Amino acid sequence: MLKDCAPGSTVRLANHSRVVRFAGKAYPSLPKFDNIEYGHVRKLVRFLGISVDCAAKYLPTVFKPEPKPKPSKTSGPAK
Amino acid sequence: MSEAIPLHPLVFTLQNAIEGCGFLAGITTYGKAVMEQDENEQWWMYGVCPGAIAAGGKTTNEAFLNFRNRYKDVLFDLAEECGSFLAFRNATEAFFKAEDPEESARWETALEVVRRSGSALPEPFTELPRKKAEDFPVGIQIERLENKKGSQLRPANNIQDSMSQAA
């Protein structure tokens, strides 16, 4: 995904995290686990300004068309 | 009429003591984040300031705990890569100040929704302390602890890690 959607980006393994650099920005908190949860990828893409449409081609389950978070309902205004 | 609140604006405070190469740094962070639940019912805390960080969990508290640990991991890496206190301080400040403009806009919108909803927050956010956004001192303090004089070391300087609902 990064190769195509963030050309020129680099990924470096630090001791505790992965550091991803792209377009003059650094994202130093990507976990080192093999399976990275969706939220980390969403944040990485948002923070580095990577095209969501491009990312969705590679990760369609992470970037669904118009992903909507599940709203939590309020119980009504306090009296 | 009540309004669904899909995104929650938060402020948080974290205090860390980090050992580097020849220094002991005390870092107190007053940051902003948003929290939302994804399609898998997992809670996610997305950093606004600092912007380059996120963490999830089955509950809001677990997401905050993982966020705190992820933040600590970044500080550990910066301490290992910086040969001096000055370099560590500069790198840590740069990480903190790397704001995410899109997340920042989401935080502002979420704050407006929360304010329109009055006190009708959903659980578990009803249990969080509320802090007026304008009064919360967003910023970071980094000091060299081992250089402090005895009289400057006081229990009153200890700050509990916490997150609050911005209101």
| B25-77 per-position pLDDT tens digit | 999 999 999 999 998 999 999 999 999 999 999 999 999 999 999 999 999 99
How far away is chain A from the Cα of B36, in angstroms, using its nearest Cα?
A: 7
Which residues of chain A make contact with B122, given a CB cutoff of 8 A? 72-75
Please check whether residue A49 lies inside any domain of the structure: yes
3-state helix, strand, coil in chain A (%, to 5): 30, 20, 50
Separation in Å, CA of B47 to nearest CA in chain A: 9
- Rounded-to-integer distance, Cα B37 and Cα B125, Å: 13
Q: Chain B residues with CB inside 8 Å of A52's CB?
A: none
Q: Write the DSSP symbol of residue B159.
A: -
Q: Which domain holds residue A6?
A: 2-58
| Of the listed ranges A40-54, A63-77, B79-93, the one predicted with least confidence | A63-77
Q: Which residue, B165, B160, B167, B166, is CA-closest to B13?
A: B160
Asked whether the predicted pLDDT for residue A22 surpasses 50, the reply is yes
Q: Is residue A37 part of a domain?
A: yes
Query: Are the Cβ atoms of A77 and B119 closer than 8 angstroms?
Result: yes
Residues of B in contact with A25 (CB under 8 A): 52, 98
Task: Report the first-to-last Cα separation within chain A, whole angstroms.
Answer: 51
User: Number of structural domains, chain A?
Assistant: 1
The pLDDT of residue A73 is 56
